[in-house]
Amino acid sequence: MNYNLFDSFQLGSNTLANRIVMAPMTRLRADGTIPTQLMAEYYAQRVNAGLIVTECTMISPLSQGYMNVPGVYNDEQVAGWKLVTDSVHNAGGKIFLQIWHSGRVSHSALLDGEKPIAPSAIAGKGQLHTPIGKVDLETPRALETSEIPEIVEQFRDCAVNAKQAGFDGIELHGAFGYLIDQFLQDGSNQRGDKYGGSIENRARFLLEVVEAVTQVWGGDCVGIKLSPSNTFYGMFDSDPKATFGYVIKELNSFNLAYIHLMEANEVDLSTRDVINPVLPVFRPLYEGNIITNGGHNKETGNKAIASGNAELVSYGKPYLANPDLVTRFKQDAELNEPNPKTFYGRGDTEDAKIGYTDYPFLEKSLLF
């Protein structure tokens, strides 16, 4: 039987109305680190997605990589996220919380003077906006072996907090050059202990985090995002097919809800020779569900599902600008164009709604 984007799907214990996923997108609209009522409105507008995955959410104060990014490590943050989950559920939607540690993608100006932490003292490439202006990434402090279990426990604790906040599941951010990815790839991990060296050792942190959070949720409510072709922040691996192939095969034993697998983007392709396409390389290694992400439109999304290479398709920019994306796809209607100036925060406007909750619907009556 050929499935398409509009077919329902049983994702572990969650029944999804369709196979269209709202991808996690960094929007930087929190009040400091606290989710807001405006964020609740933003996510509730987009409940026609079969599944919403939230923006990256901090597991500790030292995991902060950006200004106005939410956390889920204290009671006030959990209460803020409860506004979001209540709004989404009242509108009939399903929502997973993406939990995240930025690792070396940070700066002491964001961390009350503390140095960023990472598997090795190797600086990433790029710049960040901080309270003192735009700055280059700093050389991080290499974690002591004895410190790593504490970070695993922070992921576990925040998985518990996500339950308390009312989410339907969680997604681990293991992609795009953040801490889990930094441990995995040998361009950022040059440790000499049990967390470095061989692929098995470099994958240890990722697998320990997966084990910890699945003990809280069960595997069928946990996903993980991976980006085998990512070059963000200077990331690279000497043998990404072997590295990510090992991890993906190991993840079979956890019976996860899904792996969220990122294709190479234009920046990756222009930076160096990377795996392209990603999906056919790793699909044969994974027995569970895969969400594919990579600039898909309706046609390519349907092809990915019909081919059997993926069970679900996630959309980022199209969902950012089109809260009623499913309706527009069904009607082959024109899509709103996103405003890049307001992708990451308010841009040059004082009104937080602009470029966030003010994108027009095709038909208000078809919102849900």
The predicted-structure confidence for 50-63, as pLDDT tens digits, reads as follows 999 999 999 999 99
Q: In terms of Cα–Cα distance, which of 128, 19, 125 is closest to 67?
A: 128
Is the pLDDT assigned to residue 349 strictly greater than 80?
no
pLDDT tens per residue, range 15-43:
999 999 999 999 999 999 999 999 999 99
**Is residue 107 over pLDDT 60?**
yes
Plot region of 24 (φ>0 → left; ψ -120 to 50 → alpha; else → beta):
beta
Helices (H), ranges, the chain:
37-44, 75-90, 148-164, 179-184, 199-202, 204-217, 240-251, 266-271, 279-282, 298-306, 317-321, 325-331
Instruction: Report the mean per-residue pLDDT for the chain.
Output: 96
In the prediction, which pLDDT does 350 show? 78
**Residue 290 forms beta bridges with which residues?**
259
pLDDT in tens, 286-305: 999 999 999 999 999 999 99
pLDDT tens string 238-259: 999 999 999 999 999 999 999 9
For the segment 204-232, the average pLDDT, to the nearest whole number, is 98
* pLDDT of 80 strictly over 60: yes
| Residues 348, 344: Cα–Cα separation, whole Å | 11
Pairing of the two strands 133-136 and 127-130: antiparallel
pLDDT bucket at 220, cuts 50 / 70 / 90: very high
Please give the distance of CA 250 from its chain centroid, rounded to a whole number. 20
Question: Sorting pLDDT into bands at 50, 70 and 90, what band is 364?
Answer: low
Confidence check: pLDDT of 110 > 50:
yes
CA-to-CA separations, 116 to 60, 94, 185, 333, in angstroms, rounded: 12, 34, 18, 45
Provide the pLDDT for residue 346. Answer: 83
CA-CA distance, 120 to 187, in Å (whole number)?
10
pTM: 0.97
Specify the pLDDT at position 348: 77
Sign of CA dihedral 113, 118, 124, 128: negative
What CA–CA distance (Å, rounded) separates 317 from 150?
A: 35
The pLDDT value recorded for residue 367 is 43
Domains in the chain (CATH in brackets) are: 9-362 (3.20.20.70)
Q: What is the largest CA-CA distance in the chain?
A: 59
How many C-beta neighbours within 10 Å does residue 114 have? Answer: 12
Q: What is the pLDDT of residue 111?
A: 98
List pLDDT tens digits, range 160-212.
999 999 999 999 999 999 999 999 999 999 999 999 999 999 999 999 999 99
pLDDT at 1 exceeding the cut of 70? no
Identify the pLDDT of residue 347. Answer: 78
pLDDT above 70 for 366: no
Is the preceding omega at residue 277 within 30 degrees of 0, hence cis? yes
- Say how far apart CA 311 and CA 170 lie, in whole Å: 18
Three-class DSSP category at 237: coil
Residue 317 in this model has a pLDDT that exceeds 70: yes
Q: What pLDDT does 368 receive?
A: 41
Q: How far is CA 91 from CA 86, 158, 272, 340, 359, in A?
A: 9, 25, 44, 28, 18
Q: What is the Cα–Cα distance from 294 to 260, expressed in whole angstroms? A: 11
Active site residues: 178
Q: What local confidence, expressed as pLDDT, does residue 224 receive?
A: 99
